[in-house]
């Protein structure tokens, strides 16, 4: 493997490279980058990187570390923003914000990064059984963010805590390459050059986004507020995709991008002109936040048809006052509802993934609002008629207002009751409107009221998996029939996006985070309520009560309560006594890709895991990747997902009291689901029956430890990195557009 060396003529090269140190566009050297990606970024890649040491870009290494946590569910005051490439541009600016260096240019041999790597070489992990309790792998653990002058004490107190923390050290070649580079000052190299075809595509799209008409300006604002989190790429440009972020800039197309740093995408951009620009993504691709979105000629024509050729007028552009900008039903009132909804439906997987992969989804408080496994389908954009929908939403815009965030120390009871009243009034108005439409035969409840993907779009059916403190969303109806399902309408989809993506502030205070979690209760219940209206009237309350066992009666009224019930029967003629199962059996053939062949498991031994349920499964990890080694080298990879059962999800706390492990299940899929693997398993194909039998026989934590010892790969296994690298290679080969680096922060030690 190539080794980073600085001898002879390389001295001149080093001098040139050092000139680039201040450039935010610099990158890791080619010999260094794969090591940093596979050994460092897998824990230091996003907001929850320990000590805010984000190594997904060379600029993050230059920025250094910070003792403050981004994710802090007890924070009473809003935190200062520390978004890489946005809130400061140079190492000195970051140091002024409380960051401290981990690279020491004046004395590279004393760099904290290098000394952490050396510490692991000097004190490798003990192999064999699980690591001792002196290692803390808890999600919210106290972090040891060590400055250079604190390192000697740290090394004395925690000699086994060198980097990579809790994993095997680098091998000889990796250590020499990385060590030589750090001793040379960790210089960067020029980032990738944009080729002519990509540059031309950027020019075309920036011209499209920056049209002068009111229609064009309102369209671009709407698109930006929905795609700002995406990794945009040009599907009609040959070669390896180059990813871009859609940003607001002070500078026009053709000039270097000058990002306007606001807390939320709908915050006021300040005085003066601004432009929508495509900025090259300067970080490595991290799976937990990677959301690819294709731009090509067909996409531009689609948006032209939806937003510019449509017959409507924009009389004035909305302002950026919080009461306007935070409420999309007010801000975009003049955009056709059909166009808005169809825009999101075209890439519904992307839209829902924003909620799953965005910064909101970290930790149980953010995620215990949803079930561990549920299916999602969408109401058709033609039902009821778009004009009727627009009039209804205009009347209800105040009841549909969302939390805007603030600086209060506690969730305001008055404000919370205001949201609750608004949601209840909206549900009552919705029930009355549907009653009127049904009576006029505009909206009879049939399977036709579910969007069929226009006959070709595989975004029509989605599956969401919760993995305790993370989540995943995939296309198709994956797994055994879940306990719950959602039918999402335009107004619900829009609110999910503005609550959990556009409006969520990861740096916000506890008030903002709790308010978001509590409001999401309303949205979940609305999606479930929408689904129940497709079932026979006689079964709705029974199913609702099963979903909300032990929940307070006042909670249930938001699903099907007095004044919000839909008292008309579904027009679907059911033939069995299990209407939920029958509904999806009849719906699946109508939805492109709903059968999800990509994830189908054909191996009968593994498929047996689908039939397991009960207490034994409570011991299984949330996400496990399984590598089954074929006798002739035809290895197969699977994911095993643990679906934990709860009596209800209508309470903020006391989750342990709501657990019903007797109803736990497993979902087994071909390939990869999950950005945070908790356990790797690897074994020969001949051992597959024994592996499945061992899972079925689990009773105690000791049983699980034996399972891992026999079939698994522990954190301290000498071959751990070999297995991790293999999974990354397989993922990149199977899904080259979707694949990114997995996050190993939640890998178990059991």
Looking up residue 694, the CATH number of its domain turns out to be 3.30.1050
Query: What average pLDDT does the structure give for the chain?
Result: 89
Give me the DSSP letters along 702-727: HHHHHHHHHHEE-TT-TTHHHHHHHH
- The larger pLDDT score, comparing residue 439 to residue 126, is at 126
Tokens 């689901």 — which residue? 673
In a domain, 268, yes or no: yes
Cis peptide before 164 (omega within 30 of 0): yes
- Give the contacts of 228 (CB within 8 A, at least 6 positions apart): 245, 246, 247, 265, 502
pLDDT for residue 364 is more than 60: no
Say what percent of the chain tops pLDDT 70: 87
Residues 412 and 289 placed together within one structural domain of the fold:
no
Which DSSP helix (H) or strand (E) runs through 247?
A: strand 244-249
Confidence grade of residue 265 (pLDDT, cut at 50, 70, 90): very high
- 607 compared with 596, residue with greater pLDDT: 596
Is residue 283 situated within a structural domain? yes
Q: Domain for residue 561, yes or no? A: no
Last residue of a domain, one of 291, 317, 343: 317
382 shares a domain with 474: yes
Asked if the bond preceding 384 is cis, omega within 30° of 0, the reply is yes
More confident residue, 371 or 516: 371
Q: Which phi and psi angles does 181 have, rounded to 5°?
A: -65, -45
Is 170's pLDDT higher than 80? Answer: yes
Do 309 and 349 lie in one domain? The reply is: no
Residue 621 located in a structural domain: yes
Question: What's the structural domain count of the chain?
Answer: 4
Q: Contact 496/355 with Cβ under 8 angstroms?
A: yes
CA 359 to CA 508: how far, in whole Å?
A: 11
pLDDT of residue 105: 84
Does some domain include residue 360? yes
Averaged pLDDT for residues 476-502: 94
- What domain range is 271 assigned to? 193-317
Q: 106 or 161: which carries more pLDDT confidence?
A: 161
Q: How confident is the model at residue 439 (pLDDT cuts 50, 70, 90)?
A: low
| Residue 22: pLDDT band with limits 50, 70, 90 | very low
Question: Taking 60 as the threshold, does the pLDDT of residue 6 lie above it?
Answer: no
Alpha helices in 445-535 (DSSP H): 490-497, 510-532
Among the candidates 129, 150, 183, a domain finishes at 183
Is the domain of 264 the same as that of 353?
A: no
Task: Decide which of 409 and 391 is more confident.
Answer: 391
Maximum CA pair distance of the chain?
86
* Same-domain status, 612 and 658: yes
Q: What is the pLDDT of residue 418?
A: 67
Mean pLDDT of 365-370: 70
Flag whether 632 is in a domain. Answer: yes
Task: Pick the more confident residue, 513 or 363.
Answer: 513
Whole-angstrom distance, CA of residue 443 vs CA of residue 394: 19
Helix/strand/coil (H/E/C) assignment for every residue in 614-660: CHHHHHCCCEEEEEEECCCCCCEEEEEEEECCECCCCCCCCHHHHEC
pLDDT band at 414 (very low <50, low <70, confident <90, very high): low
d(CA 461, CA 119): 50
Contact call for residues 538 and 577 (beta carbons, < 8 A): no
Judge if 616 and 526 occupy the same domain: no
pLDDT of residue 441 exceeding 60: no
**Residue at which a domain ends, from 116, 150, 183:** 183
User: Which pLDDT score is estimated for 419?
Assistant: 66
Secondary element (H or E) of residue 394: helix 386-395
Claim to verify: residue 198 and residue 295 sit in the same structural domain: yes
In whole angstroms, give the CA distance from residue 381 to residue 337.
9
Same structural domain, 369 and 497: yes
**Residue 743 φ/ψ, nearest 5 degrees:** -105, 125
Does residue 54 sit within a domain?
yes
Residue 8 has pLDDT above 90, yes or no: no
334 contacts 277 by C-beta, under 8 angstroms: no
Is the same domain home to 59 and 43?
Answer: yes
What is the reported pLDDT for 373?
97
In the predicted model, is pLDDT for residue 23 greater than 60? no
In this prediction, residue 432 carries a pLDDT of: 72
Among the residue ranges 4-8, 221-225, 332-336, the one predicted with the least confidence is 4-8
Confidence of residue 407 (pLDDT cuts 50, 70, 90): very low
Are 177 and 44 within one domain? yes
| pLDDT, mean of residues 465-475 | 93
Q: What are the structure tokens assigned to 718, written together?
A: 């000498």
Q: Do both 69 and 145 map to the same domain? A: yes
How many residues in the chain?
A: 750
Closest to 84 (Cα-Cα) out of 111, 65, 103, 71 = 65
Answer whether residue 13 shows pLDDT above 70: no
* pTM for the model: 0.92
Q: Which stretch of 100-104, 499-503, 678-682 has the lowest confidence by average pLDDT?
A: 499-503
> Could you tell me if residue 208 is inside a domain?
yes
Query: What integer is the mean pLDDT of 13-31?
Result: 61
Mean pLDDT score, 115-123 = 98
Strand order in the sheet with 244-249: 275-280, 244-249, 231-234, 292-295
Same domain, 80 and 166: yes
**Cβ contact 677:624 at 8 Å:** yes
């Amino acid at each position: 493997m190539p080794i980073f060396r600085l001898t002879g003529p390389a001295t001149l090269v080093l001098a040139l490279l050092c000139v680039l140190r201040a450039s935010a566009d610099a990158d890791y050297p080619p010999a260094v980058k794969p090591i940093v990606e596979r050994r460092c970024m897998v824990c230091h890649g996003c907001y929850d990187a320990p000590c805010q040491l984000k190594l997904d870009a060379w600029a993050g290494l230059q920025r250094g570390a910070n003792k403050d946590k981004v994710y802090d569910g007890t924070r009473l005051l809003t935190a200062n923003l520390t978004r890489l490439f946005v809130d400061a541009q140079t190492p000195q600016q970051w140091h002024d914000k409380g960051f401290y260096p981990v690279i020491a240019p004046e004395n590279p041999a004393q760099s904290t990064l290098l000394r952490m790597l050396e510490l692991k070489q000097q004190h490798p992990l003990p192999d064999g059984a699980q690591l001792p309790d002196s290692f803390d792998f808890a999600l919210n653990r106290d972090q040891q963010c060590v400055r250079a002058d604190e390192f000697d004490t740290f090394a004395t107190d925690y000699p086994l805590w060198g980097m990579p923390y809790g994993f095997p050290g680098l091998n000889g070649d990796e250590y020499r390459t990385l060590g030589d580079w750090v001793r040379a000052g960790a210089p960067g190299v020029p980032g990738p050059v944009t080729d002519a075809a990509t540059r031309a595509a950027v020019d075309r799209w920036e011209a499209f986004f920056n049209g002068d008409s009111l229609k064009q300006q309102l369209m671009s604002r709407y698109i930006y507020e929905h795609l700002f989190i995406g990794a945009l790429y040009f599907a009609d440009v040959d070669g390896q995709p180059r990813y871009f972020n859609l940003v607001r800039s002070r500078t026009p197309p053709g000039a270097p991008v000058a990002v306007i740093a606001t807390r939320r995408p709908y915050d006021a951009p300040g005085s003066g002109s601004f432009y929508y620009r495509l900025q090259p993504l300067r970080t490595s691709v991290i799976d937990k936040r990677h959301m690819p979105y294709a731009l090509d000629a067909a996409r531009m024509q689609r948006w032209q048809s939806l937003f510019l050729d449509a017959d409507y007028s924009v009389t004035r552009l909305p302002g950026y006052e919080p009461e306007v900008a935070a409420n999309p039903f007010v801000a975009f009132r003049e955009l056709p509802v059909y166009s808005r909804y169809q825009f999101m439906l075209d890439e519904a997987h992307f839209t829902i993934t924003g909620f799953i992969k965005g910064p909101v989804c970290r930790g149980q408080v953010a995620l215990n609002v949803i079930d561990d496994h549920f299916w999602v389908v969408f109401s058709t954009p033609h039902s009821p008629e778009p004009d009727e929908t627009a009039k209804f939403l205009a009347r209800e815009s105040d009841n549909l207002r969302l939390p805007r965030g603030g600086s209060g120390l506690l969730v305001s009871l008055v404000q919370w009751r205001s949201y609750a009243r608004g949601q209840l009034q909206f549900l009552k108005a919705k029930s009355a409107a549907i009653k009127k439409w049904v009576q006029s035969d505009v909206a009879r409840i049939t399977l036709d009221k579910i969007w069929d993907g226009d006959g070709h779009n595989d975004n029509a059916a989605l599956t969401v998996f919760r993995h305790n403190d993370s989540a995943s969303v995939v296309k198709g109806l994956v797994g055994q029939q879940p306990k719950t399902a959602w039918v999402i309408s335009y107004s619900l989809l829009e609110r999910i996006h503005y609550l959990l993506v556009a409006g969520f502030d990861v740096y916000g205070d506890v008030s903002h985070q709790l308010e978001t979690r509590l409001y999401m209760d309303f949205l979940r219940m609305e999606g479930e309520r929408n689904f129940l209206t497709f079932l026979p009237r006689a079964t709705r309350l029974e199913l609702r009560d099963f979903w909300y066992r032990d929940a307070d009666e006042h909670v249930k009224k938001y699903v099907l309560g007095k004044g919000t019930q839909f008292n008309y029967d579904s027009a679907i003629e059911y033939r069995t006594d299990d209407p939920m199962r029958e509904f999806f059996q009849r719906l699946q053939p109508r939805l492109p890709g709903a059968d999800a062949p990509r994830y189908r498991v054909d191996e009968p031994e593994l498929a047996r895991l689908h039939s397991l349920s009960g207490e034994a499964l409570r011991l299984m990890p949330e996400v496990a990747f399984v590598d089954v080694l074929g006798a002739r080298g035809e290895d197969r990879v699977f994911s095993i997902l643990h679906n934990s059962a709860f009596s209800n999800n209508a309470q903020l706390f006391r989750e342990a009291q709501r657990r019903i492990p007797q109803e736990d299940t497993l979902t087994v899929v071909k390939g990869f689901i999950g950005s945070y693997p908790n356990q790797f398993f690897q074994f020969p194909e001949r051992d597959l029956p024994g592996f499945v039998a061992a899972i079925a026989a689990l009773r105690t934590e000791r049983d699980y430890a034996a399972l891992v010892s026999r079939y698994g790969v522990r954190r301290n296994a000498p071959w751990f990195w070999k297995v991790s690298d293999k999974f990354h290679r397989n993922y990149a080969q199977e899904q080259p557009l979707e694949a990114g680096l997995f996050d190993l922060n939640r890998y178990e030690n059991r």
